[in-house]
Structures are given as structure tokens and as C-alpha cells.
């Protein structure tokens, strides 16, 4: 494949061409030349007014549902929606059926890792069946290719399990991901606990449920490192807290980072699109976990993104079939699909400049997951996303098997035109 991207703005802080409009020539999956008015015989030429190119985007939180729930999403469809969302790499949660808690299941999924434009990285479970009771063979799973460890959609409730997991994983230089939620406090919860939940008569999910677990996890991280030759600020993140949603949770992570603890965190792109008052129509497409919080929490999330406390933006892609969502609100499953809209929502609602949004989709998740660095420089592999940040588009159709998104029919800003990866190109 020979491809010439003409007059594209390069968005990559690690590249000497950052924020410059250049031609980019790709040959045989490698960036061959970057310059002005390049010519290349037989090359396919792509040019668009206002187009940008960046390293390929990474999503750290995707529920693929395959194996076991292929009627909701499978490897083919998750790759399709990821590509259309601009993602060249996705980290898949282990909550399939069977759970990714053995080398057999892991190897089955890794058969899908052959060269394609969207690379699937597999997170293995910390505990068997992700039930929070007995450990998996984490060392074997790591050697078999697990990209990280997490019980995924099931927060780790047992403090001893989380502590020992940190101790086991540190020598392996790999990552433990946990979503902070005390499920004793959120049992039967449907939305954020507050004035709106009271008015609607719905059981609330209090801020405290998240904040207690953030505090616990950070204390356990500090304890695990206390007597293990730890020098603050010297290690890659060992603990990653996923889907922060409250102001106090963000502040606790900020304080932990100032102390040099090896912790990172993310938030979902959709978390800033609505607050808890949007639930008044009982639209089950707005039922997510963590729930949409208050305007005060949203402003704290924006500050956390701006000052670097929140490292990564994720889609939290959670596909469900019609039977799981077209129900009374208190019976519907949590989650929305997010891969196709994550970039647009991040641009529209975070208040970040486009280069900052891109950094939270590229360099930071790669560093945290220990993936090879990718940059728009001559001689490097062409793992690229091509997009137009100022373009508006109407989300008229989802290519996911699931349709549980509140954004269908909406006009969004920030359009993806294509991705290049593993010598393959996809254009939209």
C-alpha cells in the first residue's frame, strides 16, 4: 500500500512536526516521508480541508461480549465500530462467557489478534469468574499475553484480594485496573443519589460508594509499596482507577499523584454529556454505571482533565441487546455504546483543545498499558487516525450490533475519516 496524505495537520506532541500542516507519505505500512508538496507515483492520494492526523487512538475500556454474548457484540462488529470511532487499539474487558480467567480463553481471543487495522488487547480477570473470591493464575496469564488485569465490570470488593494482586503484579511490570464502587452502598441503585432521584422515586447511588473505594485502593497501594524499595514518582502506574465520576474521587487521586504514588485514572467520554437531571424521562439509554452525577462533579472532572489528574478518556463501550434495555428503568441493564461517539463527546464537553484530547487517547493510554510508543515521524510504523475536529456530522446509524446509545439522531462535532494500521487502511 502506498498512500499520500496531503496537507494534513499533524497532532502529536512527540513529533517534530506537531501542529504543522505537512504531506505524509506511507509506504508498506511505514511513514516514508513527511514534507511539503510531496509526490509519489501510483500512490493513493487523500486530501481534505481541515484534516488532521495523529497516532492511532487507544480505548482502555471496551466490553466486546465475545465469546458468549455474540448477539450483543462480536469481534467483527467491535472492530467495525472501533475503526469508525478512530481507534486502532482497544483493551477488552474479561467479562465474557467464559470469563477470561484461563489461558485457554485468553488464547481463543488472541487468535483474533492477527494483523488487522484494529488491534484487540485482552485484559484478564484477577479472580476466577471475576467473582472476587479466588485468584486466577495471573503469572501464567501474563506470560500468555494478558495486557492488564481487572475484574472489569465487577469492582473488587475484597481488600485482601486487591492488596495481594498489587503485590503479585508489581514484579511483572503490569497493570491492575479497578472500578471503584462499594456495592453494599449501591445495591438496587438506579441513578445518582440526590434531589432528582428523590423526586423520581428511584434508589440512588451515593458519591460515597465511589469515594470510599478510591480511598481504600489508594491506601492499599501505598501499603503495598511501603516496604518494597519504592521511590515515589519513579514507576509506571501499577493501579489504574477506571470511570471516576465524583469531585472528591478526582481530588483524592490528585493528592496521591502529588505524593508520587504510581496511580492513573480515566473517565468515560459520555460522563460530561448529561447530568443526573437528564434521567427525568426515564430513558434507559441514560442508565450508566457510574451514573451521571451533578454539574459540580462535572466541573471537577473537567479540572481533572485539564491539570492531568485524569490521564485517559475512555468510551466505556457497553453494548446490550433490545431485551436488556427496552424495559422499565429499574429493570434495564447499565451501559451505553460509546466507541463511535467518544472522540466527539470529548471534544464537545471537556473544554480541552484538540491536541489535549488526542493525548488522552494516544500517548497516555499507551504509556499506562505498556504498549509500544507510536509517533508521526519518518521511519515509524504507520499507526494513524485521520480526523477533522471542526467538522459536524449527524449520528444517524450505529454499526454496533447494539443500539443502546442516547446520541442517535444528534449532530456532533469531530469527524473521523479513517485509520491506518498494520499496513491496512479504513476510510469513512
Catalytic residue among 89, 101, 151, 316: 316
What is the three-class DSSP state of 143? helix
Q: Provide the total of helices (H) and of strands (E) in the chain, helices listed first.
A: 13, 18
Are the C-beta atoms of 16 and 3 separated by less than 8 Å? no
The residues, ordered by sequence, that sit 6+ positions from 286 with a Cβ below 8 Å of its Cβ are 274, 278, 279, 292, 336, 406
Are the C-beta atoms of 79 and 406 separated by less than 8 Å? no
Are the C-beta atoms of 123 and 93 separated by less than 8 Å? yes
Sign of torsion over alpha carbons 327, 91, 309, 179: positive
What is the three-class DSSP state of 308? coil
Q: 452502598: which residue's cell?
A: 185
Beta strands 87-92 and 119-124 are parallel
Catalytic residue check, 330: no
Report the C-alpha gap between 29 and 22 in whole angstroms.
18
Residue in 202, 207, 350 with CA at minimum distance from that of residue 284: 202
Residues pairing with 80 in the sheet: none
HSE at residue 193, side-chain half, CA atoms within 13 A, is 14
CA 187-192-196 angle, 5° bins = 120
- Within a 10 A sphere around the Cβ of 232, how many other Cβ atoms? 13
Residues pairing with 241 in the sheet: 178, 265
| DSSP string for 5-46 | EEEEEE--TTSTTTT-EEEEEEETTEEEEEESS---TT-EEE
Residues pairing with 384 in the sheet: 55, 420
At 405, list the grid cell.
446509545
| DSSP string for 213-282 | HHHHHHHHHHHHHTTTT--TT-S--SEEE----SHHHHHHHHHHHHTT--EEEEEEGGGGT--GGGGGG-
**Catalytic residue positions, numbered:** 316
Amino acid at each position: 500500500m502506498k498512500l499520500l496524505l496531503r496537507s494534513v495537520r499533524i497532532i502529536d506532541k512527540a513529533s517534530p512536526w506537531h501542529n504543522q500542516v505537512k504531506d505524509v507519505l506511507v509506504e508498506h505500512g511505514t511513514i516514508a516521508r513527511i514534507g511539503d508538496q510531496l509526490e509519489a507515483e501510483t500512490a493513493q492520494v487523500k486530501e481534505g480541508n481541515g484534516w488532521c492526523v495523529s497516532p492511532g487512538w487507544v480505548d482502555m475500556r471496551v466490553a466486546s461480549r465475545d465469546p458468549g454474548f455474540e448477539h450483543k457484540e462480536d469481534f467483527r462488529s467491535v472492530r467495525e465500530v472501533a475503526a469508525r470511532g478512530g481507534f486502532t487499539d482497544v483493551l477488552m474487558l474479561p467479562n465474557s462467557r467464559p470469563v477470561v480467567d484461563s489461558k485457554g480463553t485468553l488464547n481463543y481471543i488472541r487468535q483474533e489478534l492477527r494483523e488487522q487495522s484494529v488491534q484487540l488487547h485482552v485484559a484478564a480477570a484477577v479472580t476466577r469468574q471475576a467473582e472476587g473470591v479466588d485468584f486466577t493464575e495471573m503469572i501464567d496469564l501474563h506470560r500468555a499475553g494478558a495486557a492488564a488485569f481487572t475484574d472489569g465490570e465487577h469492582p473488587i470488593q475484597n481488600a485482601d484480594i486487591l492488596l495481594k494482586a498489587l503485590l503479585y503484579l508489581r514484579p511483572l511490570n503490569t497493570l491492575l485496573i479497578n472500578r471503584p464502587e462499594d456495592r453494599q452502598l449501591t445495591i438496587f441503585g438506579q441513578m445518582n443519589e440526590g434531589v432528582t432521584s428523590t423526586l423520581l422515586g428511584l434508589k440512588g447511588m451515593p458519591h460515597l460508594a465511589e469515594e470510599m473505594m478510591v480511598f481504600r485502593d489508594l491506601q492499599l497501594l501505598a501499603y503495598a509499596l511501603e516496604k518494597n524499595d519504592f521511590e515515589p514518582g519513579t514507576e509506571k502506574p501499577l493501579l489504574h482507577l477506571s470511570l471516576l465520576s465524583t469531585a472528591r474521587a478526582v481530588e483524592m487521586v490528585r493528592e496521591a499523584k502529588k505524593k508520587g504514588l504510581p496511580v492513573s485514572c480515566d473517565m468515560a467520554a459520555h460522563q460530561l454529556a448529561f447530568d443526573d437531571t437528564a434521567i427525568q424521562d426515564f430513558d434507559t439509554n441514560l442508565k450508566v454505571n457510574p451514573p451521571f452525577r451533578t454539574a459540580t462533579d462535572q466541573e471537577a472532572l473537567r479540572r481533572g482533565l485539564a491539570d492531568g489528574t485524569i490521564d485517559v478518556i475512555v468510551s466505556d463501550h457497553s453494548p446490550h441487546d433490545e431485551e436488556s434495555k427496552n424495559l422499565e428503568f429499574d429493570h434495564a441493564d447499565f451501559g451505553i455504546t460509546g466507541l463511535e461517539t467518544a472522540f466527539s463527546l470529548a471534544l464537545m464537553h471537556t473544554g480541552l483543545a484538540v491536541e489535549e484530547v488526542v493525548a488522552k487517547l494516544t500517548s497516555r493510554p499507551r504509556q499506562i498499558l505498556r504498549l509500544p510508543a507510536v509517533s508521526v515521524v519518518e521511519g515509524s510504523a504507520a499507526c494513524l487516525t485521520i480526523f477533522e475536529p471542526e467538522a459536524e456530522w449527524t449520528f444517524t446509524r450505529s454499526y454496533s450490533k447494539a443500539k443502546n446509545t442516547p446520541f442517535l439522531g444528534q449532530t456532533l462535532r469531530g469527524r473521523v475519516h479513517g485509520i491506518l494500521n498494520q499496513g491496512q487502511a479504513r476510510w469513512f
